[in-house]
Amino acid sequence: MTQGMAGWLGHPRRSFALFGGLGLCAATGQAPLGLAPVTLVSFAYALWLLQRSPLGGRALAWRGWALGTGYFAGALFWIVEPFLVDIARHGWMAPFALIGLAGGLALFWALAFGLAGRIGRGQFALWAAVFWTLAEVLRGLVFTGFPWAAPGHIWIGWPQMQLAALAGPDALTALTLFAAALPAVFRPRWLRGAALGVALVLAPLPYGLWRLGQEAEVRAEPVTIRLLQPNAPQHLKWAREMVPIWFQRNLDMSAALGAEGGRPDLIVWPETAVPALLNGGEETLGVMAQAAGGVPMVFGIQRWEGGFPRNSFASLTAEGDLGPIYDKSHLVPFGEYMPLSALFDRLGIGALAALAPGGYAPGAGLVPVDLGGKLGQVLPLICYEAIFPHDIRAATGPRAGWILQITNDAWFGAISGPYQHLAQARLRAVETGLPVLRSANTGVSAVIDARGQLQGQLALNTDGFLDADLPGMMAEPPFQRFGNWPLMLALGLVALGLWRRMALDPDTEAP
């Protein structure tokens, strides 16, 4: 290591700039840029710098925190967008939200780097990959979880994405981090490590290409789904003079004939698309049923149940009767409910998107709903619920034949958030072996087959509807049966091997 680089590495503020910058570069692997090689190189260089540094566990934790802060600030900068919808009331919170979220999530990485520094000795990079992967697993679970922008998400759209069918999205993160660690492990012969890292990244390629070539189940009867995208900007969505315009736009799209003059088998409105409560909204539902002209409908609507407001997925039958209802069960903290609500109530701060100051109440949990006939069992997801693979695994009831997500991504801005949300829906299709259809208020509405491939979409920030055939399902992937246990076993074996090597040779160094 050069004297100049050693000076940067040892200086707290300079090292924060260095590792924060590397994290920012690594964030370009996330949608919409999708620069996966940049992420790999950025992580690899960070681990290469730290592999034989004289820094202790606390100093390494600080540098891991800096890397994570830069990464999450770059990947999740869209988090300021909800606070800019009503800038007069909430705009002051935007910088605190970004700094707080990026710095808070980076604490998981700080913990991983600190533990690796205390245990790792000459094998810091490999220990870091082990603990870093575990930290990402925890990030998706603790405090209700937030597995957005995981390092493994850089492979969405690549054949390597199919590895998630075997071992889930955290296996993609492990693939990324171990590949990034190998150049540091073989330092100073880093080219050998880099070659091994490339080989590791390419290892899932044969399986991925094979799975992409597999045929999904052919449906006994073709099913056409109409996805509506009214394109109501969030700052105008509930404006008194605009509400009738958005509602009429949805009615007109519901009543329209298809490209060949036909009608769909189901019409889908996005999240909170109906400007009335389900309770006492019979007149509004009657107008919707009339526009549908005998076609069943699914729509996002708010309702009161048990004394609490709910964010709901509701349906109308072909006869215009109210069908199955699902209440969103995994709510967005600070958006749909307020943690420590009593404290925030005193400060006059409420949930951004909730119907009432206290926020929505959660539903009973994910469960398929039966839309009847050839539509069959569908697993409903409302917005944010599509980012939690383990919630979907835990859904009760029979296996659904497809997944339907209704969402309002107008909250996420127009640069990266909606594209990252779409990317995660693609990953859910791979993990479940089910097609995913999504109706998004401002986009991106899309049809995704069971291999995670886009079969049709509507451009972001445009209005219109998409009529598409419902793709078939595939056999239930191993991840749905075994979850993260195979990955945990693999990480345990790696850790055991590293520990044994250290026990046999306490002064061991990298090869």
Where in the sequence numbering do the catalytic residues fall?
A: 271, 328, 383
The rounded distance, in Å, linking the Cα atoms of 229 and 439 is 6
Q: Confirm if 397 and 378 have CB atoms less than 8 A apart.
A: no
Q: Confirm if 411 and 81 have CB atoms less than 8 A apart.
A: yes
Strand partners, 464: 229
Instruction: Give how far Cα 54 sits from Cα of 60, 124, 333, Å.
Output: 10, 11, 40
| CB neighbourhood size of 108 (10 A) | 22
| CB neighbourhood size of 283 (10 A) | 9
Q: Which of 342, 361, 353, 346 is nearest to 441 (CA)?
A: 353
| CB neighbourhood size of 285 (10 A) | 20
Cα 183 off chain centre by? 29
Q: Label the pairing between strands 224-229 and 266-268.
A: parallel
Q: Is the peptide bond before 142 cis (omega within 30 degrees of 0)?
A: no
User: What tokens does 146 get?
Assistant: 């937030």
Helix (H, G, I), strand (E, B) or coil at 487: helix
φ, ψ of residue 327 to 5 degrees: the values are -100, 135
Tokens 């019409």, residue? Answer: 267
